[in-house]
Amino acid sequence: MEITVKVFGQLAELLSSSQLEFEEVTDTDELIHQLQQKFPAFRSATYAIAVNKKMISGNTILYHGNTVALLPPFSGG
C-alpha cells in the first residue's frame, strides 16, 4: 500500500517537505496521527484535507495509490 501526501504553503515549511510517502495507513485520522507523532509542530496547524483532489470533511478510508493533500487556509488572489 502506498499513500502520497502533498503538503502546501506554511505546512510545507512546518514539515520541511512538500511531499511524503506512507506505506501503512488505513484512513485519514491515522495518517494525521502519524504526522503528529513525526512532526509535533503539526498538532497546532490549521488545514483542510483533500483525498484525490476532493475535499473531505470526516475520517476517510485510504486505498493504495490515493493522494492526500494537506491544505492550509487559502490565500490566492
Residue 69 is a binding residue for other proteins (CB under 8 A): yes
For other proteins, the closer of residues 32 and 47 by Cβ is 47
Which range touches other proteins (CB under 8 A), out of 19-27, 34-42, 58-66, 69-77? 69-77
Longest CA–CA separation in the chain, Å: 37
DSSP state of 43: G
Residue 72 is a binding residue for other proteins (CB under 8 A): yes
How many whole angstroms separate alpha carbon 77 and alpha carbon 67?
26
Residue 75 and residue 16 in contact, taking contact as beta carbons nearer than 8 Å: no
Residue 9 is a binding residue for other proteins (CB under 8 A): yes
DSSP state of 27: B
**Pairing between strand 48-51 and 54-56?**
antiparallel
- Among residues 8, 22, 39, 42, the one that binds other proteins under rule CB under 8 A: 8
Binding site for other proteins (CB under 8 A): 6, 8-10, 50, 53, 69, 71-77
